[in-house]
Structure 1
Amino acid sequence: MAHGNIEHVNITVTDPERSKTLFEDLLGWKERWRGPSLMGGRTIHVGDAHNYVAIYTNDAAKGGFAKGVPLNHVGLQVDDLDAAEKVVLGHGLETFSHSEYDPGPRSFYFFDWDGIEFEVVSYE
């Protein structure tokens, strides 16, 4: 059986610099690349050596997506959930649905400025 992982996720946002900074602060990621997109507009790749988020925008990007359109949420794993929540709150975003599954991870959710939902989990 083959083994795989998600190499990248491509999201559309209204302010890619703001989103890039959130991922850098939340996950310790760095900008890997930026430039024009093949679809028009522009893209910033922010991540680590193995995976990244492609943050895309164009003149038509409006944000305000409804939950579940086009996806339910993106899961992000961190080492320190409390520190991660402080970063999210520090960016002016609200967290919700805090939970702890026995014996699984602790987690919380947040929506970014464009309505994209993220779940942040920690197996600490």
Structure 2
Amino acid sequence: MPRVIGIDIPEKKRLEIALTYIYGIGRTLSNEILAKLGLNPDMRAAELSQDDIAKLNSLLQAEYVLEGDLRRQVQNNIKRLIGIHAYRGTRHRAGLPVRGQRTRTNSRTRKGRRKTVANKKK
């Protein structure tokens, strides 16, 4: 498996897809990076030469915020929102949807499994 900025990317996948295994790189950014380096997006990751990997590493480290730094940046942004008592910060703290979704139904991903409540006696 080729290692790009410390991440093993799958060698059997197309290069365009293999780069998306790096946190912070999606399909659009992957294609942009490959165009900058002049690499074929259809070639397999196993076909990368050491020279190509070195070019890829230097480009990613110089121009993009990825992996650990990006995760840290996102967590710091969330901590900042919580610290200044912003509405979005309180939603993060409470484990509820942050972007205005309804919570009467749905939102199970954020709220967790349902807790059943007994019926009220008449």
Shorter-chain TM band: under 0.3
Q: TM-score, normalised by structure 1?
A: 0.23
Greater fraction strand: 1
Q: TM-score, normalised by structure 2?
A: 0.23
Which has the greater radius of gyration?
A: 2
